Amino acid sequence: MNKNLKKTKIIATLGPASSDKETMIQMIQAGVDVFRINFSHADYELVLKNVNIIREINKEYGYSVSILGDLQGPKLRVGVVKEGSFLNPGDILTFTNEKLEGDATKVYMTYEKFPQDVKVGERILIDDGKLVFEVIETNNIDTVRAKTIQGGPLSSKKGVNLPNTDVSLPALTEKDIEDANFMLDHEFDWIALSFVRHAQDIIDLKELMAKHPNKTKTPIIAKIEKPEGVKNIDEILLECDCLMVARGDLGVEVPMEQVPVIQKNLVNKARLYAKPVIIATQMMETMINILTPTRAEVNDVANSVLDGADAVMLSGETSVGKYPVEVVRNMAKIVKNIEKTPLYSKLNHVIEEKINCVDERFITDKVCRSAVDVAKSTGAEAIVTLTSSGYTAFQISAHRPSSHIIVFSNNKRVITMLNLLWGVRAFYYDMEKSTDETVIQVNMLTHNFGFVEQGDFVINLNAMPVHNGGKTNTMRLSTI
């Protein structure tokens, strides 16, 4: 039964279409591994209800579904605009800090430092790039004048993108700080930080976490959706725990034709640093209203899997769409089919090791890499590891072995957190036995769960002594 599990994980966004227990159960059975809660549209009472339902389902059914909280970040918007406002190429639009009802000549900009940040000649994009303007004048105080390059209807509260501008907004807004503390209060498994531009953005969130009474480490996902984030990816990867290629805003901020190559490069970079990577936005949007995805959408999901993503994410498809269960089922079918192909096995080869000094994780890193090599050469059916932090699971997963990655931990939060990682299946184990007893017991459990059969080779990774919770330093090849 467990031999046919998909290895690429599916993240589904919760919303009005999917916020009841029965629908969530069906979505998990269809293939959901992680539920995302978008704090751009979050009511704390409803969020807490959903969190409790997910944990209830995990307990009742023995699942390990993760909870991912997604911070809104510094999203720029225009204010309220009169209905029927329309701009033609060549029209001049004035952006002002004065709160007023806008029209086709003047509009309120929610970002106060907008006149100081933008420069003459830079582009302003509104409504995902449907309207394009060029800055012709700024008084550096409260007003910016821009010429319409690409016109169209101007509507209220639409998002604004500044692809050429170095925006001085902090990555964490006041709303984000409040939302992050809420996530920490309720022990979310992952926190996603939007519009990450520099490593300092991640450090700022870590400092907020350090001040929180709940000292349990919550891993951070860096959402890459601005050109600065792409440019500074190496320094960001040193600080974050996971990457998300957020193609919605990224496709507006950089030329659209560059996004596919950026996606591939970010996936490769993340794997080099042994950090999981999520591909997100507009994957199967047709299925918001229609039961069948387009062939282009099927190809997009397939190519994201072939690129080596740890997870693919659904947004509006499951939060507000008509077919939240069916879209997950379709996505899971595509994922499983691609993973069976020889092309996938060929592309998902072991990554090159990054140049690394001998540090405190050097031995663990080498043991994990060796385990993947030995698994390949022996045809081992599973790599079985014990972990208290989850570190070895990150390392093994990054190398994409054809073997099952079976993880045992005495930390229940680590078990649900690891459900986002490619190929990882995590289970509870108290880790209080001696090394020999431990290997026998976890191998027996791996057999009972249906991942291995009698006669299969298994690789066991341990820290010796086990009960000290040390770093992995031992590899053993054994037979079931």
Query: Prior bond to 465 cis, omega within 30?
Result: yes
Contact (Cβ atoms closer than 8 angstroms) between residue 388 and residue 409: yes
Neighbours of 6 (CB within 10 A): 21
Dihedral over Cα of 320, 325, 327, 328: its sign: positive
Whether 322 is catalytic: no
Contact (Cβ atoms closer than 8 angstroms) between residue 405 and residue 368: no
Cα–Cα dist 415/407, whole Å: 8
Dihedral over Cα of 223, 288, 312, 252: its sign: negative
**Catalytic choice (21, 77, 413, 433):** 77
Query: Can you say whether residue 198 is alpha, beta or left, with left for phi > 0 and alpha for psi between -120 and 50 degrees?
Result: beta
Cα–Cα dist 67/242, whole Å: 14
**Residue-by-residue DSSP string for 19-74:** -SHHHHHHHHHHT--EEEEEGGG--HHHHHHHHHHHHHHHHHHT---EEEEE----
**Catalytic choice (281, 364, 385, 416):** 281
Whether 36 is catalytic: yes
**Catalytic choice (6, 7, 158, 223):** 223
SS3 245: strand
Cα–Cα dist 78/102, whole Å: 9
Single out the residue of 142, 164, 159, 234 nearest to residue 196, CA to CA. 234
Whether 123 is catalytic: no
Give the length of the chain: 480
Q: How far is CA 431 from CA 58, 213, 343, in A?
A: 22, 27, 38
Cα–Cα dist 36/47, whole Å: 11
Single out the residue of 277, 240, 371 nearest to residue 9, CA to CA. 277
Single out the residue of 409, 411, 382 nearest to residue 396, CA to CA. 382
Cα–Cα dist 62/405, whole Å: 18
Cα–Cα dist 418/241, whole Å: 12
Whether 77 is catalytic: yes
**Catalytic choice (6, 7, 36, 400):** 36
SS3 285: helix
Cα–Cα dist 66/35, whole Å: 6
Residue type present at position 277: V
Active site residues: 36, 77, 223, 281
